[in-house]
């Protein structure tokens, strides 16, 4: 999967891409993340890419012109047969695991447009973006963290990026339910013991226990997911 990120702050991506799983995914060539500075598409010597909103009101809005040019340039420079241009916006469709999986399966390049300040000129949403995605019902200062959230969630679904693909399949939301509880060594900590079934070596029993615990966790913590949980067959 290739990601092209259009941003005013390319440096913000430094940390998350230079550590751990994403770093290894990049090194193995399973994912690529190109960062594009929106100011490179400005037309004046001050490299201005924002302006005051029509109709008045405070703050600045990212101009449509530089974004249109940047999108056109990136799509031409880095052609990809299955490409999707996404505007990060608190007004977009909520980003969920299901959408992360669809994007991982259906596209080989995602162009992510990060807004800033009061947002972007509405014509970007109308004419440059294929869709608008929100990472949650709260407002952040810019689209960089949301873009990074998408890069992370989608990258770990690309085969080979995670050490074991089994873990992504069993993660919360993957089957419409939360994951079962996990424990690791030692078997007793401060007198608190691991459930005995996990030490039994009986895989069928462990599977049953995990299925039941996943159902319980979903009912307790996310009853809104329960309708889907009922569709999952017992393993």
Any contact of residue 10 with ligand SAM (CB under 6 A)? no
Contact 102, 95 (CB under 8 A): no
List 19, 21, 102, 136, residue binding ligand SAM (CB under 6 A)? 136
CA 153 – CA 44 distance, rounded (Å): 37
Residue 135 binds ligand SAM, judged by CB under 6 A: yes
53 touching ligand SAM, by CB under 6 A: no
d(CA 142, CA 89): 9
The one catalytic residue in 37, 40, 73, 90 is 90
State which residue, 5 or 162, has the beta carbon closest to ligand SAM.
5
Return d(Cα 65, Cα 124) in angstroms, integer.
9
Site for ligand SAM (CB under 6 A): which residue of 74, 142, 177, 218? 142
How does DSSP classify residue 224? G
- Binding segment for ligand SAM among 31-39, 71-79, 117-125, 164-172 (CB under 6 A)? 117-125
Q: Round to whole Å and give the CA distance between 147 and 132.
A: 12
Pairing relation of β-strands 83-94 and 32-37?
A: unpaired
6, 31, 114, 157: which one binds ligand SAM (CB under 6 A): 114
Catalytic annotation, residues: 90, 118, 156, 171
């Amino acid at each position: 999967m290739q990601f092209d990120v259009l941003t005013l702050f390319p440096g913000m991506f430094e940390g998350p891409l230079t550590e751990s799983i994403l770093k290894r995914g990049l090194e193995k060539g399973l994912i690529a993340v190109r960062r594009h500075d929106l100011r490179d598409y400005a037309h004046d010597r001050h490299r201005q890419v924002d302006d005051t909103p029509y109709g008045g009101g405070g703050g600045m809005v990212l101009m449509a012109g530089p974004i249109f040019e940047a999108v056109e340039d990136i799509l031409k420079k880095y052609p990809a047969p299955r490409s999707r241009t996404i505007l990060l916006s608190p007004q977009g469709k909520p980003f969920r695991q299901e959408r992360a999986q669809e994007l991982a399966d259906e596209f080989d390049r995602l162009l992510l447009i990060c807004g800033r300040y009061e947002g972007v000129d509405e014509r970007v949403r109308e004419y440059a973006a294929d869709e608008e995605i929100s990472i949650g019902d709260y407002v952040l200062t810019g689209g960089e963290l949301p873009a990074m959230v998408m890069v992370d969630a989608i990258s770990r679904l690309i085969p080979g990026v995670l050490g074991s693909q089994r873990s992504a399949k069993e993660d919360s939301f993957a089957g419409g339910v939360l994951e079962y509880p996990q424990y690791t060594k030692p078997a007793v900590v401060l007198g608190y013991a691991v459930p005995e079934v996990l030490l039994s070596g009986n895989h069928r029993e462990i599977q049953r226990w995990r299925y039941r615990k996943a159902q319980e966790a979903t009912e307790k913590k996310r009853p809104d997911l329960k309708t889907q949980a009922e569709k999952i067959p017992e393993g």
